Structure 1
Amino acid sequence: MIPALMPNYKRADLAFEQGEGVWLTAADGRRYLDFGAGIAVSSLGHAHPGLVHAIATQAAKVMHVSNLYRVPQAEALASLLVNNTFADSVLFCNSGAEANEGMVKLIRRAQFKLGHPERTRILCFDGAFHGRTLAMISATGNPAYQEGFGPVVEGFDHAPFNNTNTLRAAITPETAGIIVEPVQGESGIKPATQEFMQGLRAACDEHGLFLGFDEVQTGVGRTGKLFAHEWYGVKPDVISVAKGIGGGFPLGAVLATEELAQFLTPGTHGTTYGGNPLACAAGMAVLEEILKPGFLEHVRAVGEAFGALLDAVTKSAPDVFDSVRGIGLMRGLHCKVPVGEVMAAATEQGLLSVSAGDNVLRLVPPLIVTEDECREACDRLVRAADAICEAKLTTQEKVS
């Protein structure tokens, strides 16, 4: 008999009852070091006092009114984002896929209003992940996500990632804009190169296209800058944001320059829940914490130390890991054995992680993590690798 919850997820047999900082406590009382952070969502960790207080206080007042009325909390959060980014205006929504849909609509709408109705196609890149809606699985371009859902949504083209030689050939008279992840997350923690990012900006300027960055996973401090595009010195026209911005409460956003944002007028787009008082109270608490003096410096320092510690892990366990990827607190270990085995072994050692494509173990702890906690995570990874090697040796001995 089918369970009450649709069997859509392959869930580990773990249920957590409480969290504090970078730790989660399971129903059986065992504590786990959380280096998955709800897939890079719990930016301030678990039970952060400021975030808890903001949500509880707002919930006791008013949670939702809809966008038929002014939402002061949304106005305040939008102003904070505008004052600290390239953007002139912000649209709030509920998730990363929804933010990416909004970004695509905004790019197409702007081209239409600027006298280029033929420009409707969006150029994306091999290895991308932009979400699970019908349009976003088409933008992603991975056949595994598209199987069984009928014809792909028209209007998305793909080119090789990090290849400036093939970029211009992929642009057509119908291209409206380009969307790229500064660091591809789902496909294996693959950062864009400086040359590639600058090439994207140059191509967009040359052809009259809009440049959009999918910062759903890389944004809100994950890489050590508020947004990852800042590392490249490249200004986007629009970006999508979600995951860490709500610290665990569902919240997404589209940030854009006035050139695009001016065309999203009443009736052109909408969302019932997007930017409601409760979500934006959570977003304010998160963003105010991340913008405090020293917070992003902490992420950069710990992220650099974490990278060095992971390098040491690959040297300690060369039969299991062979390289480290990523930047800041968005890291990946490329595995020489199936990543599912590594993830399970790490969980046995009390370390939570996330798998990614290309046989990569993804490590995205809360941004409040300390260097000592990163060291502890690495110790557990080495123990997990040792357990994998010991199990394989035992199996070989039994066979022989």
Structure 2
Amino acid sequence: MNRHSLEAREENLLDTPAASGAEWLARYSGAMLNVFGTPQRVLVRGAGALVWDADGKEYLDLLGGIAVNALGHAHPFVTSVISSQLATLGHVSNFFASPPQIALAEKLLQLTGAPEGSKVFFTNSGTESNEAAFKLARRNADGPDGPRRKIIALEGAFHGRTMGALALTAKQAYREPFEPLPGGVVHIPFNDADALRAAVDSQTAAVFLEPIQGEAGVKPLDAEYLRLARELCTEHGALLIVDEVQTGVGRTGAWFAIQESGVLPDAMTLAKGLGGGFPIGALVTFGEKTSALLNPGQHGTTFGGNPVGTAAALATLHVIEQQGLLAQVRATGEHLKAGLAALDGVTEVRQRGLLIGLDLDADVAPAFVTAALDAGFILNAPGPRTLRLAPPLILSVEQADRFLAAFPAILSTVLSAASAPTAAE
């Protein structure tokens, strides 16, 4: 079969390859379960930090698939590795192992600074990683004063939407439709050392923390708080489990955000940027005792650790290392923070690497996202006056400056619309 006939078959698979965005959205509403609402655009291709929609409009992607596309879109090395691996060996199930799976596990243990006896379990998403960690916590049940049943998470936390991960997630709007959730989870105030001291005791199986709460608006935990959590968990035999799904793999300018505090957790969950856009996640368990909690048959996955996903992750980590992207992330992030902080209408900027949250002085963040999209920029609003940026790690200073230059006009448009009298008035 020649190249032209393959392209023709691809067009037939898409049915209407030249359809407009409006036509695709009409088909979307007729075919897709309505759990995401109406998509903002239909995107058809990307290159680096840029994407294009079905109508040919270009956008600077400052959200990166929500911190997923670490190397941007269609990175040539990652795509070549994925294609080569898929042409060699795509899926084998976990009755067997593959070289990329083993090599990636070894690489993650090296990058995390894991001690002897540490292990890795691969998943397909952040939610699945946290679900595995939830079960790990349940296995830490044997305590000197009876069974450990309590699991502590923080107010503002987001750990996923499956039942165990949802039990850890704090937002009531996500939780209430699916209650009763798995029991034993207690949510305590964010970054409150006294509340943490009061909550962690001999009945505590685990403490779940995000070093930076992304869905809450990019809110970092103090290093002192993280160190206190480590001390209390060690004292009471609880597991310290760190959710690095959004913050890991170079997002903050370090391989993992927890490393900047000097704290080694008992377990870490990963996903998002790990595969550079290809679905893969991981649970890393530190030390022999924690790694022995889950035994054969107590957890599993069909697709987790497949050769293509692990090859994609190895390629992503290789590029981050070889191109020195951690330093670039720190420099570009600081540049963006300084530029945003100097803008009228911005009241606070919270930044670690290329994970940035900024607050506006009015409740117009969702409208800003819409206006920014019209102006050719993709970002999101985790709160009524909070914007979040999580662009590809390859974002250049020049691209950052494009957004900074456009920001005042976008905000002015939004504020003018918000203050304009309605027809009823």
TM-score by length of 2: 0.88
Q: Give 1:396 shift.
A: 4.2
Q: 1:54 and 1:108, CA in 2 relative to 1: closer, same or farther beyond 3 A? A: same
Q: Measure how far apart 1:18 and its partner are.
A: 1.1
Which SS does the other structure have where 2:193 is aligned?
A: coil
Whole-angstrom CA distance in 1 between matches of 2:197 and 2:416: 50
For 2:95, the equivalent position in structure 1 comes to 68
Q: What's 2:135 paired with? A: 105
Gaps of 5+ in 1: none
Q: How does 1:24-63 map to 2 (within 5 A)?
A: 24-63=51-90
Deviations 1:369-397 (A, max 9, x none): 0111111112222221021133345x249
SS in structure 2 at match of 1:64:
coil
* Cα distance between partner residues in 2 of 1:398 and 1:268: 61
Q: SS at the partner of 1:283?
A: helix
| Distance in 1 of aligned mates of 2:151 and 2:214 | 20
How many residues get paired?
393
Contact 2:200 2:233 (8 Å CA) reproduced:
no
Q: 2:398 aligned with 1:378, yes or no?
A: no
Query: How many angstroms apart in 1 are the aligned matches of 2:203 and 2:184?
Result: 9
Counterpart in 1 of 2:188? 159
Check whether the contact 1:188–1:359 (CA below 8 A) recurs between aligned residues. no
Which residue does the alignment assign to 2:45? Answer: 18
The match for 1:352 among 364, 372, 378 is: 378
Aligned pairs for 1:120-269 (under 5 A) are: 120-258=149-287, 259-269=289-299
Change (3 A) 1:3 1:293: closer
Equivalent residue for 1:323, pick from 348, 353, 356: 348
**Percent sequence identity over matched residues?**
40
**Aligned ranges for residues 333-372 of structure 1 at < 5 Å?**
333-335=358-360, 336-357=362-383, 359-372=385-398
Question: 1:116: how far off?
Answer: 7.8
* Distance verdict in 2 for CA 1:13–1:302, change over 3 Å: closer
Q: Which amino acid aligns with 1:130?
A: H
Partner of 1:280 in structure 2?
Answer: 310
Specify the code of the residue in structure 1 equivalent to 2:225: F
Does the Cα contact within 8 Å between 1:330 and 1:364 map onto a contact in 2?
A: yes
Q: Report the Cα offset of residue 115 of structure 1.
A: 7.4
- Deviation string 1:242-294 (CA, Å, 9 cap, x unpaired) is 00001111100001112211232211110000000011011111111122262
Q: Secondary structure at the match of 1:148?
A: helix
SS at match of 1:12: coil
1:188–1:358 Cα contact (<8 Å) kept: no
From 324, 327, 336, the equivalent of 1:297 is 327
Q: TM-score, normalised by structure 1?
A: 0.94
CA distance in 1, matches of 2:168, 2:250: 25
Partner of 2:124: 94
Residues of 2 paired with 1:115 and 1:164: CA distance? 25
Q: SS in structure 2 opposite 1:291?
A: helix
Taking the aligned partners of 2:383 and 2:240, their CA distance within structure 1 comes to 25
Structure-2 separation of matches of 1:86 and 1:117: 33
- Measured after TM superposition, the shift of residue 172 of structure 1 is 3.7
Counterpart secondary structure, 2:333: helix
Structure 1 residue 218 displacement after superposition: 0.4
User: SS at the partner of 2:342?
Assistant: helix
1:340-383 per-position Cα deviation (integer Å, ceiling 9, x unaligned)? 11111111111000221363111110000011111111222222
- Letter paired with 2:63: G
CA deviations 1:293-333 (Å, max 9, x no partner) are 622111111111111111123x3xx2xx3221131100012
Q: How far, CA to CA, are the matches of 2:323 and 2:40 in structure 1?
A: 40
Counterpart CA distance in 2 for 1:392 and 1:92 is 47
Instruction: Report the alpha carbon displacement of residue 99 of structure 1 after superposing the two structures with TM.
Output: 0.3
Deviation beyond 4 Å, 4+ runs, structure 1: 114-117, 396-400
Alpha-carbon spacing, 1:397–1:90, altered in 2? closer, same or farther (3 Å)? closer
**Aligned-pair distance for 1:179?**
0.7
Q: Give the Cα–Cα distance (whole angstroms) in 2 for the partners of residues 338 and 392 of structure 1.
A: 8
Maintained 8 Å contact 2:129/2:270: yes
- CA separation of 1:166 and 1:397: change in aligned 2, threshold 3 A: closer
- 1:271 to 2:301 alignment: yes
Q: Deviations over 1:227-247 (max 9, x none)?
A: 000111111111000000011
Q: Secondary structure at 1:322's aligned position in 2?
A: strand
Q: How far apart in 2 are the matches of 1:356 and 1:283?
A: 28
**Residues 145, 202 of structure 2: 8 Å contact kept:** no
Counterpart code for 2:374: E
Residue 10 of structure 2 is matched in structure 1 by none
Whether contact under 8 Å (1:348, 1:384) holds in the other structure is no
Consecutive unaligned residues in structure 2, runs of 5 or more: 1-25
The 8 Å contact of residues 100 and 214 in structure 1, kept in 2 or not, is answered as: yes
Identify the range of structure 1 (381-390 vs 346-355) with the bigger mean alpha-carbon deviation. 381-390
Which residue, 327, 339, 352 being the options, matches 1:309? 339
**Is the Cα contact below 8 Å between 1:55 and 1:278 reproduced in 2?**
yes
Q: Which amino acid aligns with 1:65?
A: V
